[in-house]
Amino acid sequence: MEWTHIDLKKKTWFLPNTKNGSARTIPLLTRAIAVLEKQKTKPLNITGRIFPIKPDSITQAFVRCCKAAKIDDLHFHDLRHEATSRFFELGLNMIEVASITGHKDLKMLKRYTHLRAEDLAAKLG
């Protein structure tokens, strides 16, 4: 995550290199903007990255947190499944969710979506 890819006014993050090979711009939550604003007051690191840490450090911290919380068989990538499902629960439609997650194929988007039956029941009344 680099400052050159963040537009705080538009509340967006440009992702030039993605898993599916297509660059895209995604919206940022208000909470993310608040974190970025706070980070902006810190001295810039030499690489231009917003958070001067190595990607592997995030993975290691995630593993340590899972161990501390006694959570077995949870992987960092599982968070993508969770986020996809929660976007739908927020009321976003398939096209909106796909534009955030980067899914080009609705079949794959469906694979990442795990809606809770109790939430669907509440919608049905």
pLDDT digits (tens, 9 = 90+) for 67-109: 999 999 999 989 988 999 899 888 889 999 998 998 888 888 8
74 belongs to a structural domain = no
1 belongs to a structural domain = yes
The 12-15 sheet, strands edge to edge = 6-7, 12-15, 24-27
pLDDT band at 30 (very low <50, low <70, confident <90, very high): very high
Q: Domain count of the chain?
A: 1
Q: How far apart are CA 50 and CA 33, in angstroms?
A: 12
Residue 41 sits in which domain range? 1-52
18 belongs to a structural domain = yes
13 belongs to a structural domain = yes
User: Both ends of the chain: CA-CA distance in Å?
Assistant: 42
User: What 3-state DSSP class applies to 12?
Assistant: strand
Q: How far apart are CA 55 and CA 57, in angstroms?
A: 5
23 belongs to a structural domain = yes
The rounded mean pLDDT for the chain is: 88
Position 46 scores a pLDDT of: 62
14 belongs to a structural domain = yes
Which of 42-46, 69-73, 113-117, 119-123 bottoms out in mean pLDDT, i.e. has the lowest?
42-46
Contacts of 117 (CB under 8 A, 6+ apart): none
Q: Is the pTM of this model over 0.95?
A: no
What tokens does 53 get? Answer: 């840490």
42 belongs to a structural domain = yes
